[in-house]
């Protein structure tokens, strides 16, 4: 009888540990995927033209539509509104499906979207003509509540990456 009680207690504890481990694995997978999507967008923005031409004049891509992969009709590296990380801002948001494919941009998420990627392009205050601060925030499709207010906090399972892009000769 005592052995049965001890065995039952051990099995219940083991089942709880299994449930906790499964939950933690799901959270880690979601965070890894969000980080991968944020890195993908950062690299896409860093690949846009921001340098000097052969005559030494600055060149800037301000027309690529990075929300839909179109070479024209977008904002490129144009400075973003101050609230582009806090709310869906046309030209500074895209939506991604479960396979990491873009399913569109705009203010309203299209069908099949599981993640929202918002980004901001801000000139560096001390060198605005030659340096940009690029930020990307990847969230799942849910209401973020107070996290979208003020400094735009990062919630669990979300990724926020920041990088700097400077002009260089091409």
Question: Residue 51, SS3?
Answer: strand
Residue 156 has pLDDT above 70, yes or no: yes
Of the given ranges (7-16, 77-86, 136-145, 156-165), which has the lowest mean pLDDT? Answer: 136-145
pTM, two decimals, is 0.84
CA–CA gap between residue 156 and residue 76 (Å, rounded): 29
Going from N- to C-terminal start, the domains of the chain cover: 2-169
The mean predicted confidence, pLDDT, of the chain is 90
CA–CA gap between residue 104 and residue 112 (Å, rounded): 10
Question: What secondary structure does DSSP assign to 83-109, as a single string?
Answer: TTTTS--TTSEEEE-TTS-EEEESSSP
Handedness of CA 119, 49, 72, 41 (dihedral sign): negative
Q: CA–CA distance from 87 to each of 7, 57, 142, 149, 167 (Å)?
A: 53, 34, 12, 9, 29
């Amino acid at each position: 009888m005592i052995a049965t009680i001890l065995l039952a207690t051990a099995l219940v504890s083991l089942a709880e540990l299994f449930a906790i481990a499964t939950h933690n694995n799901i959270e880690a997978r979601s965070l890894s995927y969000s980080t991968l999507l944020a890195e993908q967008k950062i690299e896409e923005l860093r690949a846009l033209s921001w340098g000097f031409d052969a005559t030494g004049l600055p060149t800037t891509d301000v027309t690529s539509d990075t929300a839909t992969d179109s070479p024209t009709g977008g904002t490129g590296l144009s400075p973003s509104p101050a609230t582009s990380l806090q709310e869906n801002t046309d030209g500074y948001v895209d939506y991604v499906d479960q396979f990491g494919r873009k399913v569109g941009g705009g203010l309203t998420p299209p069908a099949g979207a599981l993640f929202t990627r918002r980004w901001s392009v801000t000139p560096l205050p001390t060198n605005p003509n030659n340096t940009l601060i690029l930020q990307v925030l990847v969230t799942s499709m849910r209401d973020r509540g107070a996290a979208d207010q003020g400094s735009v906090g990062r919630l669990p399972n979300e990724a926020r990456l920041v990088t700097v892009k400077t002009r260089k000769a091409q």
